[in-house]
């Protein structure tokens, strides 16, 4: 199962008011484990950053001036997220609104909302009435976010990946077996890992006396005993 943990930074709150995406960061998970593949891109919003945005993003007009516009990176971004991976986003409605606005402006198809998995909604269901910001969830789960002095899309995605794994049951919800959960075949596609029979069967741990005692016990249960039906 492939998932993309995603975050964007923007010039403001409403694409309809002319606000644009200035940064995208994404982290790939397969079977709830980070693969090491990431996507990170700064984007020239083709407008000035509003007053105060420098403090939030650590980005400014001069820094973004030579970065590519969204139209130039749109296909690379779509190729990275693929066509069916779930998009794990904190406050998904906000990021999806901006992504689909940007895609619409460059005549690309919108990303269906049902691909988005909102960690903010998950956190509010799990901890009703408690703060559910990314920083608050880091404190709850003991995740170090000291580097988050300035918001950054890739850093926030990496932190959100840790938070997401805690929200769904722990950093290794499958007890560490995910490293063997899939393998690549000759064509590069992944196939599910399945346990095979042991080359040498384990020796029985039941003694002859224990086996005889069990047989005598089952004999007393009559012909309708479940053990007799399954024997």
Task: Identify whether 222 is part of a domain.
Answer: no
The percentage of residues in the chain with a pLDDT greater than 70, rounded to a whole number, is 77
Task: Identify whether 169 is part of a domain.
Answer: yes
What pLDDT score does 173 carry?
45
Beta strands in the chain (DSSP E): 2-10, 21-30, 33-42, 86-89, 116-118, 182-184, 190-192
5 has which bridge partners?
27, 88
Token pair listed for 19 = 């606000």
202-214 tens-digit pLDDT:
677 778 888 888 7
Biggest distance spanned by C-alpha atoms of the chain = 88
Task: Identify whether 205 is part of a domain.
Answer: no
Look at residue 146 and give its three-state secondary structure: coil
* Distance from C-alpha of 87 to C-alpha of 27, rounded to nearest angstrom: 10
The domain that holds 64 is classified in CATH as: 3.30.420.10
Find the domain containing 92 and state its range.
2-179
- Total number of domains constituting the chain: 1
Look up 151 and say whether it is catalytic.
yes
Counting Cα atoms < 13 Å in the Cβ hemisphere of 151 gives 17
User: 40, 90, 151, 214: which one is catalytic?
Assistant: 151
Mean pLDDT of 106-119: 98
In the block, residue with structure tokens 């990946």: 161
Task: Identify whether 206 is part of a domain.
Answer: no
Task: Identify whether 146 is part of a domain.
Answer: yes
Mean pLDDT of 30-38: 95
Task: Identify whether 111 is part of a domain.
Answer: yes
Q: Rg of the chain over CA atoms, in angstroms?
A: 26
Question: Higher confidence at residue 186 or residue 147?
Answer: 147
pLDDT band at 179 (very low <50, low <70, confident <90, very high): very low
pLDDT band at 157 (very low <50, low <70, confident <90, very high): very high
Task: Identify whether 193 is part of a domain.
Answer: no
Task: Identify whether 98 is part of a domain.
Answer: yes
Statement: residue 98 has pLDDT above 70:
yes
Token pair listed for 211 = 């086996």
Token pair listed for 142 = 């003991």
Closest by CA to 44, choosing from 14, 18, 65, is 65
Residue 217's contacts (CB-CB under 8 Å, 6 or more residues apart) are none
CB atoms inside a 10 Å sphere around CB 150? 13
């Amino acid at each position: 199962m492939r998932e993309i943990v995603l975050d964007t930074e923007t010039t403001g709150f409403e694409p309809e008011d002319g606000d644009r995406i200035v940064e995208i960061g994404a982290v790939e998970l397969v079977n709830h484990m980070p693969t090491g593949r990431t996507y990170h891109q700064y984007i020239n919003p083709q407008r000035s950053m509003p007053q105060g945005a420098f403090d939030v993003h650590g980005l400014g007009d001069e820094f973004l001036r030579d970065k590519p516009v969204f139209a130039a990176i749109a296909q690379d971004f779509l190729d990275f997220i693929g066509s069916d991976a779930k998009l794990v986003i904190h406050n998904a409605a906000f990021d999806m609104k901006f992504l689909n606005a940007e895609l619409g402006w460059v005549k690309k198809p919108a990303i269906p909302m049902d691909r988005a998995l909102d960690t903010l909604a998950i956190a509010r269901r799990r901890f009703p009435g408690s703060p559910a910001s990314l920083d608050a969830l880091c404190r709850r789960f003991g995740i170090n976010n000291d580097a988050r002095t300035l918001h950054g899309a890739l850093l926030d995605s990496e932190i959100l990946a840790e938070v997401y794994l805690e929200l769904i049951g722990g950093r290794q919800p499958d007890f560490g077996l995910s490293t063997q959960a899939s393998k690549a075949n000759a064509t590069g596609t992944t196939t599910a890992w399945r346990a095979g029979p042991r080359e040498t069967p384990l020796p029985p741990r039941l003694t002859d006396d224990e086996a005889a005692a069990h047989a005598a016990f089952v004999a007393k249960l009559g012909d309708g005993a479940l053990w007799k039906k399954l024997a």
